[in-house]
Chain A
Amino acid sequence: MKLKIFLFFLFFSHLSFAYEFMPFDMNTRKVIEKRYIDQPLIISFWSIDCPYCINDLKKLGKALSKNTNVKLITVCVDGKESAIKAERILNQANLPKHEQYQYAEVDEDRLRYNIDPAWYGELPRTYFYDAAHQVTPLSGKISNSFLDKWFKK
C-alpha cells in the first residue's frame, strides 16, 4: 500500500517537474508588466540552444542575490517538448525562486514580434524595467558595468 501511495506521488511529482513552466503567450508580457507595476523587473528570454544564455542567467542570479527588491522573470523560447532539458539547464543557473515561463504559441516569430517588434530573435534578450518601468532592452551578453550601473539606479 505504502508503495502504491509512493508511486502515485512519484508519478505526479515527476510530471509537475517536467511542466513547471508557465505558458507565455501573446498577452503575457502585458500581464507581467501590470502585475509588477512600480517594481523593478528583469525579463530574460533564453533558449536551450544558446550557450550565451546560461552564462547570462548565472550572472543575473548572482546580481539578484544582492538586490532582492528586483523581480526576475525567465522565459524559455523553446516549446514545451524541451521542458525537461530547459528545466535541467535552468537549475544550473542558481537563480532565486522566480516565475519561469516557456513559449506557448505555435507561431514563435509572431510572438516575438508581439513582444517587441525591434527584437529579431537574437538571444539572450533581456528587458530591464526600473521602478517607473522605463525599459532598457539588451541583446547578448550582459556586461558587469551595465549591471552595476543599472542596479545602482
Chain B
Amino acid sequence: MFIIHFLKEQVMRKLNSIIKFFKKIIFLLLILFCETSFSHEGHTHGPSVVASVSFDKSGTLWRVREQQGFVIVDSSNDQGLNFSKSINVNNELQKIGTSGDAKPKITIGPEGNIYVTWTQTLSKPYTGYIWFARSKDRGKTFELPQIVHQDKSEITHRFDTINVNKDGRIFVAWVDKRDLEKAKLQKKEKEYKGAALYYAVSENFGESFKAEKKIIDSSCECCRIGLTNDSKGNIIGMWRQIYDGGIRDHAVAKIDINDNIVVNRATFGGWKIDACPHHGPAITRGGDWGYHMAWFDGGEKAGLFYGRIDGDAWVSSPSKRFGNANFQAGHPSLLSINEKVYLAWKEINESDNYIVLAISEDGGKNWLEAKKIKKTEGASDYPELIQFNNKAFLSWNTIKDGYQLIALE
C-alpha cells in the first residue's frame, strides 16, 4: 500500500514538473513572439518615400504607396493637392519592396479598372512574390490580391512592372531566378549569369493570369524593367542585360500578343561589372519611327544617356549624355506627346535632391537646355512623368515637402 502511494506521488511529481516545463516553454515562446513583432514593428513611420501614380479618364489622379507593410491607394481630384483617405490593398501585413528600383505600381485600364502590382519580400535573401490586385469600382474596394506567377518557390521574383495596352490586355513582367536555381542544381560547367525575365498576361481584365513565360535568360538581377506598347498594343520592353564578358548593356524586345519574342541589343556602353547597379532604364514610344530610351551607364564614363531606337530595324542612334554625373544624374523617366519629348531625372548635391527636366520639340533630335524644376532638402523618390489629355506632368514624392505634381509647359 505504502509503495503504491509512493509510486503515485512520484508519478504526480513527474507530471507536475512536465506541466511546469511546458508552461515555461509556452511563456518563453510568447516572450520571443512579442519581441520579434516588437523589433519588426517597434518603429512607427509614415508611408515610405516611393509613390507611383496614374490618371484615370476623368482626370482623377490615383496614387499607390507603401505604409508599414500595406500597399495603400488614394486619389486626388485637384491634381495632387488634396488626397482622399487611403485604403489598404493587401489585408495581411507583408514586407513590401520599396528600396532601390523597387516600388508598388498603379495603372488604369481603358475600361476603368484600377490595377496595382508590388513585390512581397520573403524571408530568404533576394526572394519575393509578385502580387496583383484589381479594383472594379473606381477604387472604392480592391479584390483579394493574387500572385501572378504559378511558380511559388521561395526564390527571386522581384521588380514587378505592369503595362495595360489599348485593348485592356495586362502584361506583368519581373526578374525571376528559377533558371539560376535549376542551373545550380544541375551544376553545369558554364555558370548561369544573372537572373531571367518572366511575364504573365491577363486577357480577362485582371480576373486571372495565364501561366508565366520567359522573355530571356541572364538579365541583370536588381534593375527595374521599362515597358511601353507599339501602336498595335504589342509590348516593347527594355532592361539591363548581361552580355558576354559580364557587360551590362541594355536590350529591347518586342513581345507580341501571340508571345513571339524578338530581342535586340539597344545600348553599347560596355559597362563590365559583377554588381547590382540598382539602376533600370526608361522607354516610351515616339512617332512611327520607333522609341525613346534613357538609361544609366556606370564605369569610367558613368552617366545618364538618351538614345532613339528604330522600331523595325532596331538600330540605335548614337547616345546623348544628359545631366551632371558629378551630381549623381540618374533614374530617368520619359514621356512623349506627339513631337514633344520630356526627359526627367534626379540629381543630388550637398544640400538638396532635385529634379532636372529636358525637353525636345522635334521627337528627340534636338533638345532645349535642361532645367532644374524642383528641389527638396530631404529624401525623395525617383521622378515619374505622366500625362492627362496630352498634357505632361511630373510626379515626385518627397519626405520634407510632401507629394508634388507639377504641370509641365
The answer to whether A113 and B125 have CB atoms under 8 Å apart is no
Looking at the complex, which of B24-32, B103-111, B136-144, B199-207 is the stretch in contact with chain A?
A: B24-32
Docked complex Cα distance between A11 and B273 (Å): 43
B221 close to chain A: CB less than 8 A: yes
A11–B100 touching, CB < 8 Å? no
Tell me if B232 is interfacial: C-beta within 8 Å of chain A: no
- Give the interface size class of chain B: 35 or more
- The answer to whether residues A123 and B278 also contact, given A49-B222, A108-B379, A110-B353 and a CB cut-off of 8 A, is yes
Residue A120 interfacial (CB < 8 Å): yes
* With A81-B40, A81-B43, A120-B302: A106-B126 Cβ-Cβ less than 8 Å: no
Among B123, B222, B349, B399, find the residue whose CB has the most chain A CB atoms closer than 10 A: B222
Q: CB distance A121 to B379 under 8 Å?
A: no
A122: contacting residue among B28, B278, B348, B378, CB under 8 A: B278
> Contact mask A130-145 → B, CB, 8 Å, 1/0?
0000000001110000
B residues near A85, Cβ cutoff 8 Å: 123, 125
Stretch of A30-38, A50-58, A61-69 lying at the B interface: A50-58
Contact A140-B125, Cβ < 8 Å, known A49-B222, A78-B99, A121-B279: no
Any B CB within 8 A of the CB of A148 = no
A141 to B302, CA, bound (A): 18
The distance in angstroms between the C-alpha atoms of A118 and B348, with both chains bound, is 12
Q: A85-B125, A121-B100, A122-B298 are in contact. Are A106 and B379 (CB under 8 A)?
A: yes
In the assembled complex, which residues on chain A have CB atoms less than 8 Å from the CB atom of B28?
Answer: 7, 10
Q: Which residues of the partner chain A approach B350 to less than 8 Å between Cβ atoms?
A: 114
Interchain nearest-CB distance for A25 vs B (Å): 14
In the assembled complex, A5 has its CB within 8 A of some CB on chain B: no
User: CB of B276 within 8 A of chain A?
Assistant: yes
Q: Is B186 engaged at the interface, CB distance under 8 Å to the other chain?
A: no
Q: Which of A7, A14, A89, A140 contacts B273 (CB 8 A)?
A: A140
Within 8 A of B (CB), among A92-126: 106-110, 112-114, 117-118, 120-125
The answer for the CA separation of A80 and B42 in the assembled complex, in Å, is 11
Instruction: Report B-chain residues with C-beta under 8 Å of the C-beta of A110.
Output: 348, 353, 379
Q: How far is the CB of A73 from chain B (nearest CB, A)?
A: 19
**Nearest-Cβ distance from residue A80 to partner chain B, whole angstroms:** 7
Indicate if the CB atoms of A107 and B276 lie closer than 8 Å: no
In the complex, are the beta carbons of A139 and B328 less than 8 A apart? no
Question: CA–CA, A85 to B99, complex, Å?
Answer: 15
The distance in angstroms between the C-alpha atoms of A43 and B99, with both chains bound, is 22
- Any chain A CB within 8 A of the CB of B290? no
Q: What count of chain A residues pass the 8 Å CB interface test? A: 42
Contact across chains for B276 and A47 when beta carbons are under 8 A apart: yes
Contact at B278–A80, with CB atoms within 8 Å? no
Which B residues between 308 and 328 are near A, CB-CB below 8 angstroms? 326-328
B157 CB, nearest partner CB in chain A, Å: 14
* Residues of B321-364 whose CB lies within 8 A of A: 326-328, 330, 346, 348-350, 353
Q: Which residues of A contact B112 (CB under 8 A)?
A: none
Query: Is A70 an interface residue, CB under 8 A from the partner?
Result: no
Contacts A81-B40, A85-B125, A120-B296: A140 and B275 contacting too (C-beta < 8 A)?
yes
Given that A18-B39, A107-B379 are contacting pairs, would A120 and B298 also be in contact in the complex, using a CB cutoff of 8 Å? yes
* A1-18 with Cβ < 8 A to chain B: 3, 7, 10-11, 14-15, 18
| Central interface residue in B39, B126, B296, B330, by most chain A CB within 10 Å | B39
Can you list 14 contacts pairing A with B, beta carbon distance less than 8 Å? A18-B39, A51-B126, A52-B275, A78-B99, A83-B39, A89-B125, A109-B379, A113-B328, A117-B327, A120-B277, A120-B279, A120-B302, A121-B277, A123-B276
Mark A residues whose CB is within 8 Å of B: 3, 7, 10-11, 14-15, 18-19, 47-54, 78, 80-81, 83-85, 89, 106-110, 112-114, 117-118, 120-125, 139-141
Given A107-B379, A122-B278, 18 further pairs, Cβ under 8 A: A14-B32, A49-B100, A51-B221, A81-B43, A83-B39, A85-B123, A85-B125, A89-B125, A106-B399, A107-B380, A109-B346, A117-B328, A122-B273, A122-B277, A122-B298, A139-B273, A140-B274, A141-B275
